[in-house]
Amino acid sequence: MSFNSGLGMERSYYAATANPFARAPKLEGEAHADVVVIGGGFTGLHAALNSIERGFSVIVLEAGRIGWGASGRNGGQMIPGWRKSAADLVARYGEAKARTLFDMAMEARNLSVERITKHNIACDLRVNGHLTVAAKPADLSWMREEADVLARVMAYPNAHVLNADEARAKLNAPGFHGGFLDECGGHVHPLNYALGLAEAGRGAGVVLHEDSRAVSLETTNGVVARTESGVVRARYGVLACDALLGGLEPRVAKRIMPVANYLVATEPLANARELIADDLAVSDSRFVVNYFRMSADNRLIFGGGERYTPEPPADMAAFARGHMLKVFPQLCNARIDYAWGGLVSITMSRLPHIGRTGDLFFAHGYSGLGVLLPALTGKVLAEAMAGTAERFDVLAGLAPPEFPGGAALRSPLYVLGMLWYALRDRL
């Protein structure tokens, strides 16, 4: 079992349909590079690609298998923006800074699509839009406000509010009151996207090591990353471990919290296009969000239901299927072919935590919106290592607060808060 193979990843739809990828060797002995990247998910892989394109030599240390963290097991939903609405950003930062942040998020979206196209990554990319469906009638008022702020402040004409009939024409599921369609959203096979990024990096000269867990880091006067069988000495480091960070760097761990989330993939469905029109990616407006889309072979890939305890449900398939049937009761006879879970890292503010400690840069805590944003953070970290820190400073300025209660209490206190919001969903 590899470091990141838990929660059924080896039995996931993505692992079953992964493109061939030659395993990278374990780190043995001493190695040197300009940049050592710790973590082989979207953040680490984008940082590696951007760094090598700037002329740095790069080594990636991945504790388990490339792409097997959150990056290769998520819903594959490409949702433009931050986990905060444009209206929230304006309220918090004012129009000018909110616009800068929004433009950066759109850059992330465009960079992701460009990477896939440029490197010819076979990952079932669909960019027909992302639909958020309204679980409560009251959701329509924030959706209208959001579309208005996007059009007026961000000069973004691609978001539209749908009434109940229009939403029903896109999504054949009862119980929704309308929706918010962002035409620039989409979806992707996330593991094949990650493997494609790694392959592109390898082609450009990035040295990859799998099964090479960093067990200690020194971060002043360069970065020294030690594994059990080797050591990398580098000018800079990029910490890209997200929810799997564990105790490696306690100075940054207090601002992120791992939450488990579970998915199922049904058998291929004969009536797939009747369930979701236009091959959209869809999520609902609940606090504990349900998200779903069709795979390239017409399976419904459905994620829903968070758990705040480290133990997975006894039956992951039954757990996520229960949420699926609440949205799609008509699928009660559909076979579940795959079930798996993953750890998503969230922050108090739902904005990511990006920064540096000594010569170690980090980006994590995308709070469920980490398919698109790493294309931006990887680029901005590489810019900062190359000496241009302006955009890095903008992102570092988003730093979320620490979770209350310190290392021992942050989880129980926060879990209570999350359960309260989840309960409000049900009421």
- The residues that touch ligand FAD, with contacts defined as CB under 6 A, are 3-4, 38-44, 61-64, 68-71, 73-77, 79, 213-214, 240-245, 248, 261, 263, 291, 303, 342-344, 364, 366, 368-371, 374
Q: Identify which of residues 164 and 230 has a Cβ nearer to ligand FAD in the complex.
A: 230
Q: Are 224 and 359 in contact (CB under 8 A)?
A: no
**Measured between alpha carbons, how far is 339 from 319 in angstroms, rounded to an integer?**
9
When CB distances to ligand FAD are compared, the closest residue is 370
Tell me the closest approach of the beta carbon of residue 347 to ligand FAD, in angstroms. 11
- Residue 264 structure tokens: 């199922």
Q: Identify which of residues 140 and 253 has a Cβ nearer to ligand FAD in the complex.
A: 253
Tell me the closest approach of the beta carbon of residue 141 to ligand FAD, in angstroms. 25
Q: Identify which of residues 180 and 291 has a Cβ nearer to ligand FAD in the complex.
A: 291
Q: Are 89 and 153 in contact (CB under 8 A)?
A: no
Q: Identify which of residues 51 and 74 has a Cβ nearer to ligand FAD in the complex.
A: 74
Tell me the closest approach of the beta carbon of residue 311 to ligand FAD, in angstroms. 16
**Measured between alpha carbons, how far is 347 from 253 in angstroms, rounded to an integer?**
10
Q: Identify which of residues 140 and 245 has a Cβ nearer to ligand FAD in the complex.
A: 245
Q: Identify which of residues 73 and 170 has a Cβ nearer to ligand FAD in the complex.
A: 73
Beta-carbon contacts of residue 6 (< 8 Å; ≥ 6 apart) = none
Q: Are 364 and 256 in contact (CB under 8 A)?
A: yes
Q: Identify which of residues 116 and 263 has a Cβ nearer to ligand FAD in the complex.
A: 263
CA torsion 78-84-90-94 (nearest 10°) is: -110
What are the beta bridge partners of residue 38? 61, 239
Tell me the closest approach of the beta carbon of residue 352 to ligand FAD, in angstroms. 8
Tell me the closest approach of the beta carbon of residue 95 to ligand FAD, in angstroms. 26
Q: Identify which of residues 140 and 347 has a Cβ nearer to ligand FAD in the complex.
A: 347
3-state SS of the chain is CCCCCCCCHHHCHHHHCCCCCCCCCCCCEEEEEEEEEECCCHHHHHHHHHHHHCCCCEEEECCCCCCCCHHHCCCCEECCCCCCCHHHHHHHHCHHHHHHHHHHHHHHHHHHHHHHHHCCCCCCCECCCEEEECCCCCHHHHHHHHHHHHHHCCCCCCEEEECHHHHHHHECCCCCCCEEEECCCEECCHHHHHHHHHHHHHHHCCEEECCCCCCEEECCCCEEEECCCEEEEEEEEEECCHHHCCCCCHHHHCCCEEEEEEEEEECCCCCHHHHEHHHCEEEECCCCCCEEEECCCCCEEEEEEEECCCCCCCCHHHHHHHHHHHHCHHHCCCCEEEEEEEEEEECCCCCCEEEEECCEEEEECCCCCCCCHHHHHHHHHHHHHCCCCHHHHHHHCCCCCCCCCHHHHHHHHHHHHHHHHHHHHHC
Q: Identify which of residues 14 and 140 has a Cβ nearer to ligand FAD in the complex.
A: 14
Tell me the closest approach of the beta carbon of residue 292 to ligand FAD, in angstroms. 10
Q: Identify which of residues 140 and 320 has a Cβ nearer to ligand FAD in the complex.
A: 320
Q: Identify which of residues 275 and 372 has a Cβ nearer to ligand FAD in the complex.
A: 372
